[in-house]
Amino acid sequence: MTLKSEASPSQPLNFPAMGKGLVATLVLTVGLIAVSGLIFHFSSASENLLPWVTALILFFSVLAGSGLAAMQAGTKGLVHGIGVGILFFLAIWFLVVLLPGSFAVVGLAYKLLIAVAAGALGGVLGVALS
C-alpha cells in the first residue's frame, strides 16, 4: 500500500501547475463566452445582463483554473490560486492594451478583485480536494 506523499510547505511555487491552471482558465473563458454569445444572439435575453454574465464567467473560469493548479501543486493552494488569478488578469489587461479602444481603470480594478477572490477560493478548494 502506497501512501500519498505529502508536499513540503517549504517547496517553491509550482509554475508548471500555475501554467496549466492559466491555460485551463483561458480555454474555459473562451468557451463560456462563445456559449453566452450564442445564447444572447438566439434568445430574447436582455443585454443588461451582459455585465453580470461576464463577471460570472470570469469568476467561474478563474475558480476552475486555480483549483486545477492547486490540485496539481498539492500545497500552497491560496498562493497558487491567487497566482493564477493575477496571471489571468494580466493576460486580460495585455489584450485590452493591444486592442483599439478605450478602457476604464475602474472596470479593470473590478476584474482584478474578482480574479483574485476566485483564485483564492479555487486554490483553497483545489488543495482540499487533492
Reading phi first (left if > 0) and then psi (alpha if -120 to 50, else beta), residue 6 is in: beta
The answer to whether position 80 is within a domain reads yes
Whole-structure pTM value: 0.84
Distance separating alpha carbons of residues 120 and 59, to the nearest angstrom: 11
The answer to whether position 1 is within a domain reads no
Phi and psi at residue 63, to the nearest 5°: -60, -45
- Measuring CA to CA, which residue among 94, 100, 98, 81 is closest to residue 25? 81
Question: How many domains does the chain contain in total?
Answer: 1
Per-residue model confidence as pLDDT tens digits over 3-60? 444 555 566 888 899 999 999 999 999 999 999 999 999 998 888 899 899 999 999 9
The answer to whether position 6 is within a domain reads no
3-class secondary structure, 110: helix
